[in-house]
Structures are given as structure tokens and as C-alpha cells.
């Protein structure tokens, strides 16, 4: 059994992790573990890191906010202990404020919460930041971009969902592209700094479109985990994303 870290050391290491997450250069591919072999979890993490993953994405689902149930702080802690790269924890749960501290203690670097679950988004984002973590705000495909405009200044990142959340392996929703462009426009207009992330149906066919539209972080589940070769999948996604920026920027 591992010792419980002191509050001071926990905050200090969280600050270091936040710095690590912020120092990551774009485009960044974040493999999502949702479809991996959980009977060999640490091996999967090692394989992904050896294949070039520079961060990982964990999908926490509660069976209420989304129609699927995955894992909670115990598994997140196990992943963070095994991983050497920063871990983003995507909370698809109702009342995320109730368990936020558990995910911080588990070792998350980035916490992503859904606007649809929050009565006071600014306060939640500030709480995440006050724990020394990067605060990302996600929005579902049916949620209008304007629903989050008011709090963009409190976001380290915005995660645009490009599928209905709940399951891996779904098809990319093309309506995502105009949302990404709207966030880029608003960020420029107000001179904000949040990073733009996209999650759902990201593969070799769709990543360039999202990169061209402004995405910088790309969550990739099935396109990496269901491939025969993690390294080839990650590097081809990274290259396609980078090519789409360099052609059009
Ligand atoms: C969906 C999750 C995604 C999922 C992505 O609710 O938020 O992170 O793991 O999987 P793919 O890339 O297969 O759509
Ligand atoms: Zn996700």
C-alpha cells in the first residue's frame, strides 16, 4: 500500500505536472485508453509510451451523464502511477465537484469537465486551477459554442466533442469543424490563450480536417488502440495534423 502524500507535496507535484502539460507542444495526440486491454493495463501504457504517446486520455463515465460506465479514481491512480507522461482525465459524470479532489490526488495533470454538468462553470474551473491542474471545459455536439464563451478566460483548454460522449469507435460528426473555427475566431478576437482539443472519431481521415479548423490536441481512441501498430498510428496522426497546419497557417 502506498503512503498518502502530504497536502504540500501533493500540490507541489501537481503544479509541476501542470507545467508539464502546458509545456507540451502541439499537435498532440492523446491516445484514449477506453478500448485498451484492461487485463494488461500497465503493459498497454508502456506500449503507448514506447510508441511515442506524449500524454494519455482517460474517460471516466458514470452511467448517468452518459449511457456507459467505466472507472473511477482507483484506476485513474493506477494509470497515473504507471505512466511517465501527463494524464488528462475526461470526466463524463454528474456533479464532478464531488470527486474532483480524488482525481487530483490520483495524479491527473489535466481535468476536463462538461459544461452540461455544471451549475457554476467558472467556480469549477477555478477550483481545478487552484489544485494546480490544467482546467479544460468540454461541450457536447448538441451544445452551442456560445454556452461556453462567457468562461473562456477561465479555461486552459476547450474540448470539442466530435461524437456523442459514451463510447469509443463512433463516426466523427462534421458539424464539429465550424465549432472549432468559431473557438479560434473568439480566441483571436479576445486574445485568449486556451488550447483547442477535439475528441471522438479522430483518425487518419478526419485529423487533418480538425487540425486545419484549429484543433491542437487530438484524442484518439480506436484509431490507435485498434491498430496493429501503435507507433505507426500515432506518428501518422501527428504528421497528418502537422501537415494540415503548415499548409494553411
Ligand atoms: C467518447 C470518449 C472518447 C473516446 C474516443 O465518449 O470521450 O475519448 O475514447 O474514442 P474514438 O477515438 O474511438 O472515438
Ligand atoms: Zn474522452
Q: Is the pTM of this model over 0.85?
A: yes
Peptide bond preceding 6 in cis form (omega within 30 of 0): no
pLDDT band at 247 (very low <50, low <70, confident <90, very high): low
CB 139 within 8 A of CB 145: yes
Outline where DSSP puts E strands in the chain. 28-31, 56-61, 87-92, 110-114, 134-139, 157-161, 195-199, 217-220
Ligand 2 geometric centre to CA of 34 (Å)? 8
Task: Report the pocket of ligand 1 as residue ranges, CB < 6 Å.
Answer: 32, 34, 57, 59, 90, 163, 165-166, 168-170, 199-202, 219-223
Question: Maximum Cα–Cα distance for the chain, whole Å?
Answer: 52
pLDDT at 21: 57
Within 10 angstroms of residue 9's Cβ, the number of other Cβ atoms is 9
Q: Identify which ligand lies nearest to the alpha carbon of 166.
A: 1
Residue 61 Cα: closest atom of ligand 1 = 6
β-strand partners of 218: 29, 198
pLDDT at 23: 56
Active site residue 199: yes
Residues 6+ positions from 146 with CB-CB distance below 8 Å:
none
pLDDT band at 26 (very low <50, low <70, confident <90, very high): confident
Ligand 2 geometric centre to CA of 65 (Å)? 13
Choose one of 199, 201, 220, 222 to mutate for the ligand 1 pocket test, by most ligand atoms within 8 angstroms of C-beta.
199
Residues 6+ positions from 59 with CB-CB distance below 8 Å:
32, 33, 34, 70, 90, 92, 168
Ligand 1 geometric centre to CA of 84 (Å)? 22
pLDDT at 24: 62
Amino acid at each position: 500500500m502506498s503512503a498518502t502524500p502530504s497536502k504540500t507535496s501533493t500540490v507541489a507535484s501537481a503544479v509541476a505536472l501542470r507545467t508539464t502539460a502546458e509545456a507540451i507542444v502541439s499537435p498532440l495526440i492523446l491516445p484514449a485508453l477506453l478500448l485498451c486491454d484492461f487485463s494488461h493495463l500497465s503493459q498497454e501504457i508502456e506500449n503507448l509510451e514506447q510508441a511515442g504517446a506524449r500524454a494519455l486520455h482517460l474517460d471516466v463515465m458514470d452511467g448517468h451523464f452518459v449511457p456507459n460506465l467505466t472507472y473511477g479514481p482507483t484506476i485513474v491512480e493506477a494509470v497515473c502511477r504507471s505512466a511517465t507522461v501527463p494524464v488528462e482525465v475526461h470526466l463524463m459524470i454528474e456533479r464532478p465537484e464531488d470527486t474532483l479532489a480524488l482525481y487530483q490526488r490520483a495524479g491527473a495533470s489535466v481535468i476536463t469537465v462538461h459544461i452540461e454538468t455544471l451549475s457554476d462553470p467558472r467556480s469549477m474551473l477555478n477550483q481545478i486551477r487552484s489544485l494546480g491542474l490544467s482546467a479544460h471545459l468540454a461541450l457536447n455536439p448538441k451544445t452551442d459554442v456560445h454556452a461556453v464563451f462567457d468562461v473562456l478566460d477561465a479555461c486552459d483548454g476547450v474540448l470539442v466533442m466530435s461524437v456523442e460522449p459514451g463510447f469509443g469507435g463512433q463516426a466523427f460528426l462534421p458539424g464539429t469543424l465550424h465549432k472549432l473555427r468559431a473557438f479560434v475566431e473568439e480566441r483571436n478576437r479576445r486574445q485568449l490563450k486556451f488550447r483547442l482539443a477535439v475528441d471522438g472519431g479522430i483518425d487518419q481521415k478526419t485529423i487533418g480536417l480538425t487540425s486545419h479548423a484549429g484543433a491542437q490536441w487530438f484524442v484518439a481512441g480506436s484509431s490507435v488502440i485498434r491498430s496493429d501498430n501503435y507507433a505507426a498510428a500515432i506518428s501518422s496522426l501527428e504528421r497528418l495534423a502537422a501537415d494540415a497546419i503548415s499548409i494553411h497557417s
